[in-house]
Amino acid sequence: MEMDETQHSSHIDAPGLVFSFFLKYAMLLTMKVLGIESSCDETACAIVEDGKKIYSNVVATQIPFHQIYKGVVPEIASRKHAEWILPVVRQALAEANMTMDDVDAVAATNRPGLMGSLLVGLTFGKTLAWATGKPFIAVNHMLGHLYAAHLQNDIPYPYLGLLVSGGHSIIAKVNGFDDLEILGTTMDDSVGEAFDKVAKYYGLGYPGGVIIDKLAHEGDPKAFTFPVPKLDKRGEHRYDVSFSGLKTAVIHQADQFLNKGYENTKENICASFQETACRTLTSRLFRAIDDTGLKTVVAGGGVAANSRLRALLAERTDIQCIFPPLKLCGDNGAMIAGVAYHFLARGDRSGWNTSACARIPQFKRGLANLEAFGRR
């Protein structure tokens, strides 16, 4: 399954041929890409050379503005992006000691994410590219997360990708920077969403993933035996995950799963919930490893920073698991600029009419099923 095949033009035209000629010549030198990320609640911009060297990586977080609501408010997010996008881009250029004359191309996230947030970064990126005469590339946000580990590692294809974030839980065979075979996805909630909702219910704060991870170190993962989803191990759901049942059990039925001799404390709840959630992910991933024979796993997304998930994967000594550095696990512009470089190197570019898309059905089994029944 080739990603973004509708986003990058391949028609033959005179300007396109001229662009491709000069692009191939330029690739003999170096290419600096300015990448913009605004899919959720971080306004980010980075400048990356040849998909590797990070000159600047600026991330303006909106967490203080959403904390009082214990979750991201889309309207606030899009308004903050509109307010911050220009100063963030200016700061990225300043930290790189560059002007737009030194930049060779512009890239921006266009899918998936919050529609209002996406449109701010995408519109700004296209306008900046058009006004300065630079080629433009629209980037799938999840390809960016998967590429984050490549920024500091030379990773050969194919490998298994584990994409875990506030919006997605994906296990895929990765054949190239834009070629993913989706093996498993979530049937309902993403793992990051489950973390945030559990944290919200118990009044732990926002963002929930970081707080639960911290509290879990003070609790006992054996205190509760929370249920795991019973999906078909032999059919089409062999690699799929589900977190809505676990979330419901932790929020509304915790007492039923408390083991004798343990106390019902927030620390124990966090430890037991985190253990169940992470083992749900790794059990499906380990199935994919055994079935495909691939021994390299590349993780990406905000939940890739979770300490228990990293520890569980480290227990498998027969595989190589590569994580991005913590600062590149969350949303950032460097991953967008990095993957955009490879589209440009192939001669791709995105049209000025490229739009944003909030969802990709293949990335969530439930959405794909709704599309199949004509309910989307």
Query: Is residue 300, in this structure, part of any structural domain at all?
Result: yes
Query: Is residue 375, in this structure, part of any structural domain at all?
Result: no
Instruction: Answer yes or no: do 166 and 118 share one domain.
Output: no
pLDDT per residue as tens digits for the range 296-320: 999 999 999 999 999 999 999 999 9
Instruction: Answer yes or no: do 109 and 178 share one domain.
Output: no
Q: Can you give the pLDDT at residue 8?
A: 60
Instruction: Answer yes or no: do 81 and 101 share one domain.
Output: yes
Instruction: Answer yes or no: do 335 and 294 share one domain.
Output: no
Instruction: Answer yes or no: do 219 and 86 share one domain.
Output: no
- What average pLDDT does the segment 133-155 reach? 96
pLDDT per residue as tens digits for the range 229-253: 877 677 778 999 999 999 999 999 9
pLDDT per residue as tens digits for the range 72-100: 999 999 999 999 999 999 999 999 999 99
CATH number (domain holding residue 25) = 3.30.420.40
pLDDT per residue as tens digits for the range 255-297: 999 999 999 999 999 999 999 999 999 999 999 999 999 999 9
Instruction: Answer yes or no: do 69 and 41 share one domain.
Output: yes
Query: Is residue 366, in this structure, part of any structural domain at all?
Result: no
Q: Can you give the pLDDT at residue 67?
A: 87
Instruction: Answer yes or no: do 44 and 133 share one domain.
Output: yes
Decide: 45 and 333 in contact? Cβ < 8 Å. Answer: yes
- Edge-first strand order for the sheet with 179-184 is 179-184, 169-176, 159-164, 296-300, 320-322
Query: Is residue 217, in this structure, part of any structural domain at all?
Result: yes
Instruction: Answer yes or no: do 52 and 107 share one domain.
Output: yes
Q: Which DSSP string corresponds to 272-338?
A: HHHHHHHHHHHHHHHHHHHHH---EEEEESGGGG-HHHHHHHHT-TTSEEE---GGGTSS-HHHHHH
Q: How far is CA 161 from CA 98, 192, 296, 361, 364, in A?
A: 34, 17, 9, 18, 15
Residue ranges making up the domain that contains 345: 14-148+330-361
Q: How far is CA 142 from CA 23, 79, 127, 162, in A?
A: 26, 23, 23, 10
Q: Among the ranges 10-14, 25-29, 347-351, which has the highest mean pLDDT value? A: 347-351
Count how many domains the chain has.
Answer: 2
Q: Can you give the pLDDT at residue 230?
A: 78
Instruction: Answer yes or no: do 96 and 134 share one domain.
Output: yes
The kind and range of the H/E element at 340 are helix 333-345
Query: Is residue 367, in this structure, part of any structural domain at all?
Result: no
Query: Is residue 39, in this structure, part of any structural domain at all?
Result: yes
Instruction: Answer yes or no: do 316 and 335 share one domain.
Output: no
Query: Is residue 374, in this structure, part of any structural domain at all?
Result: no
Instruction: Answer yes or no: do 307 and 229 share one domain.
Output: yes
Instruction: Answer yes or no: do 135 and 170 share one domain.
Output: no
Query: Is residue 373, in this structure, part of any structural domain at all?
Result: no
